[in-house]
Structure 1
Amino acid sequence: MDDEAASLRAAMVRELHDLGAITSETLAGAVATVPRHLFAVDEPLKAAYAADQALVIKRDQDGTALSSLSATHIQVVMLEQAEIEPGMRVLEVGSGGYNAALIAELVGDTGAVVSVDIDAEIVERARTCLDAAGYEQVEVVQSDADAGVPEHAPFDRIIVTAGAWDIPSAWLDQLSEHGRIVVPLRMRGLTRSIAFDRADEGLVSDSYRLCGFVAMQGAGAYTERLIRVADGIGLRVDDQRQDFDINGLAAAVRSPGLEVWSGAAFDLPDELELFLATSTPEMAMLHGSKDLVEQGVFALSVTRGVPALVVGGSFAYRTKRPNQETGGFESGVFAHGPDAEAVAARYIDLLRRWASEHQRRGAARIRYRPMPSGTAKPSQGIVAKQLGAVEISWS
């Protein structure tokens, strides 16, 4: 089994190289070394070494995942963002064990790794797996990560492996002067792994990657609003103060849709969605059922969730169609409601602006500014959080 596991690890490293997830030889060496199957207890070897497969560790009574062993692909992407060097002190938030072992390989004998989790069962499991794999030096702590781990601070890197809605003050307090926080931050229904460095007024980043994680538990937990508009259609919103004309929107759903095309290329959907979702606080994530798509009420994009511009009792959302003149696909919108034309025009303007000015990887610069609790206000380019504000500018 050891030979087969080693062969599968080597194949996984090659795959991650080919995908562009691994770019450094030090990380490639760590992935080639750590026996991931010892952290994927009771899973087949091929599942343990599938680069894009997350493995659920624990579910609640309703079947919702509470903890998981993240896909190696996203783990190495975040570790590349972290740029960990030998001798560093690293705090991992969320304990699966495997990621902490990779970090231990990167920091070496002169570094230190602390992994914290709120769940005693997960902490015990991580401890057992790390010991079995030979990583006794990793410290595993049971605690609410919202408070960090002050007794082991300061940290040169804080790597968060759970979906966080905000950045607790303790993480900033426990970060070293030139430290970096890599965090899957949730913003208006989207999640991006953002590598934040210290700046004069908080944190700043130009490194962000698409990702998805189990939500944070404990004091940092946050429940987005799920607003039912009509049967099979709803909005997901993270601003608890935002009001909606539900009756008007329900009527709009039943009204004929207006179809408008931008003449602009549709490309890089994860970058485009971040641009759309953060361009105005009137954007919410629209989710619709396959039944409504099959009935011709909505376009296919709503089944995955799509940024929708919601104004009063009208809304518009993004779609696409084949168009070789725009490089393969063209972006457009469907709009519903009494002000469909005006809402569609605003959305089309955003699509054209994206295509002409920002259509590339890494066009966003993301800042996090701590603010007195509850004072941040959402506006164009600003996503309000409880403890601060996320400011996104595009170049």
Structure 2
Amino acid sequence: MTRRKPSEEPTLAVRALRTQQAEGVDVYAFFVPGADLLRIADISRVHRDGEGTLHGFQRKEIQSHVRSIVEFLDQGPVLFPNAIILAISPRAIFTCSRGSKPEGDVRASESGTLRIPLPSNGSKEAWIVDGQQRSIALAQAQNKSFPVPVVAFVSEELSTHREQFILVNKARPLPPRLINELLPEVDGDLPRDLAPRRIPSELVNRLNKAADSPFRGLIRRPSEDNPAAVVTDTALIKVVRNSISSPLGALAPYKATPARIADGGAMYRVLVAFWSAVRDTFPDAWGRPPTESRLMHSAGIEAMGVLMDRVMSRASGNADLRRHSMAALARIAPHCNWTSGRWLDLERDWNDIQNVGRDIRLLSDQLARLDHVYAFAQVA
């Protein structure tokens, strides 16, 4: 292997072990002074640009967590063997050590020197996949030479970084909303417990961005700080997931089977038809903060999701789904109290409805009863 000339560019040189996983992906294990981590590696924060494209994957810095780690590191000699996981650029150069292998070597790795380029124009050649809070704390700690274990894999693909970030953190207290938003951006295979969450999150992403969606710009996602967003993504994802998984759900006919893939386009059309009708039936309640409208509250969103499954199950195959939804909603609209008044059958004021299981069931049952009574009255 050709050795890099020291004069070519500044590098951080470390003794490392190299192995390979997947299909020839280099993976390295080494130690660096903790203060050097942020010299060589970026923290890719999750955010969206002006066009709505998702960038990065890391959540915001948790200052209280960082402070607690710094306090631990500064208390004196400590044991801190938690490995940082990095993705590094192929521009990092590994040179194998010369010499014979030790007797009994299992040949799972080879030793050598890894040279990681140091940024000369602000662009770093490594990205922190796991351990950002620890890395920030190590940079702030008094002991700048504290040795930290690092495992690094070679990849510049953001989708791979996100995939590994999710896999590392899925069993930890990582916010489910952040996982949900990142899932549609991951191209690789996911564990069985995560894969079903991808389609609901993809649909919610589209509902938040598409021009024909009644929810455009109204859904709160971890990557955005939009004051106009009033609907929590978790509630809408739950509506979609429940509708897909229930045999009587409005979206269930379009889910994947052993013989066909899921029809996300058909699911989206059903969602747009029903929720556009909701918006047009309750214009005074639509788009307002949950404190002013329980229709935009998580309890209202989930209860209306139950109603969506009921209403859409009665639509004929060639029906105009939006018109069908409008007719069903118009019949119950006079009996709904989203922004004022009192739900008489529930004996609850409009703003007494909370995002708890009992209240969501009460409101769902009430909407179902109203739909049942007035749908049958229409038939009679």
Q: Tell me which interval the TM-score lies in, with the shorter structure as reference length.
A: 0.3 to 0.5
Structure (1/2) with the larger strand percentage: 1
Structure (1/2) with the larger helix percentage: 2
Larger radius of gyration: 2
Kindly indicate whether structure 1 or structure 2 has the higher relative contact order, using CA contacts under 8 Å at least 6 residues apart.
2
Q: TM-score, normalised by structure 1?
A: 0.31
Q: TM-score, normalised by structure 2?
A: 0.32
